[in-house]
Chains A and B, each alone.
Chain A
Amino acid sequence: VGPGDGACLFGFASLRRAESRGTLGSAIYSEVIHVGIEAGENGANLATKTVSEDMGLRELNAEEGRALLEEHARRYLNLSAEEFLRRWDAHEFENPDRPEVLRVAMTIPFARS
C-alpha cells in the first residue's frame, strides 16, 4: 500500500476482499484491512498496519467438539464431559446460570450437534 492508494489516508479504511471457493462449496474469505494510521505531507510518511482476517470459520468435527466440551467441563467444574452432560440433562445443577456452569453449557452443541 503506497501513497497512491488514496483510500489509505488517516482516518479512512480501505477494505479489499478476495473471495474464493473451497471444496464442499463453502466460501472462504480472505479480507485484508489496510489502514493508514499516519500520513505526512504528500503521504510520504504514510504508515500502514495490515490485519488479515480469515473469514471462513472452521467447523469442528465431532471428535474436536467432544474434546472442547471435555476441556471446558474439566477446567470450570472439574467434571468429565460425560458427567457434566448427565447432571445437566438431569437438571442437577442448583443454579445453572452460574457463569462456570453456563460457560460449559454453551459448548454443548459442539458435542451434540
Chain B
Amino acid sequence: LPARRPYAAVRELERWLQRTAACVTPHKVVISRGGREPSLSHALPHTAKFASDPAPLGGSGLLLSVAHHYRVVRAGERGPWRVQTAGYYYGFDDADGREILAYHWHPVDVPDVPFPHIHVGPGVVRRESLSLGGLSLRHNAVRADVGRAHLPTRRIAFEDVVRLAIEQLGVEPLHAGWDAVLRETRSSFSRNRTWI
C-alpha cells in the first residue's frame, strides 16, 4: 500500500505477513537489518522470514518455510512509498524435513529462471513407499525430470499458500476468522500488485 514514509509502507507489509501467517502458526516473522529503510538501487532486497524456519503446522505434520524479498521504493521524487515484492520462497516440508513442494520466484537470485514456478520435492513420495522399496529417507524417488523442473505458475500470494494448507492439506487454522483474514489481505494484494 502506498504510504507517506518508508517505515509506514513496511508496516503494512509487516501486518500483512504476520496476520496471514498467524492463521496457521504462532511463529514470528523477522526482517533483515535495515528492512524499514528505502532500498538502494543495486543493493540486495530486504527479506522477511520466520525467525525459526520452517514452522510446524498443526494437524498435518507439515512444516512451512517462508522467505519474502521486498524493496522499499518511491514513485518519483515526491511520490508515495511502497513495498514491492522482489522474490519469494514458500515451501512445505514433511515431518522428516523432506520438501514436498515449493513456490519460487527469484528473478535476481537466479536470473536464468525469471518466471514464478513450483518445484515438486522428494516429500511427495510417502515414507512408507520408500521403506517398502528398501530405500532411505534421503532417496529422491521423484522422476528426475519432474524433480528438476521449474513448473510455471502465476504469481502466488502468501495467502494462496496458507489457504492451500488449510483447505487442501489438512492444516488446522489457529482461529475461526482465518477465512476473513485471508480474503481481506488477498483482496489488498490484488488491488496493489504491479504485475501479472
Contact = CB atoms under 8 A, between A and B. Distances in A.
Interface in B17-73: 17-19, 22, 28-36, 43-49, 51, 53, 65, 67, 69
A46 interface: no
Contacts of B53: 72
A110 B177 CA distance: 32
A54 B18 contact: yes
Contacts, number: 125
A109 B104 contact: no
A90 to B, nearest CB: 15
Interface residues of B, number: 51
A96 B108 CA distance: 12
B116 interface: no
B43 A113 contact: yes
User: Which range contains the number of A residues in contact with the other chain?
Assistant: 35 or more
B47 A106 contact: yes
A109 B87 CA distance: 12
Interface in A59-113: 59-62, 65, 72, 95-97, 99, 102-103, 105-110, 112-113
A106 B49 contact: yes
Nearest to B35: A59
Contact of B33 (A49, A56, A113): A113
A4 interface: no
Interface in A29-72: 29, 31, 33, 35-37, 49, 51, 53-62, 65, 72
Interface of B: 7-8, 11, 14-15, 17-19, 22, 28-36, 43-49, 51, 53, 65, 67, 69, 87, 89, 91, 99, 102, 104, 106, 109-110, 112-113, 119, 121, 148, 150, 174-177, 180-181
Interface of A: 13, 25-27, 29, 31, 33, 35-37, 49, 51, 53-62, 65, 72, 95-97, 99, 102-103, 105-110, 112-113
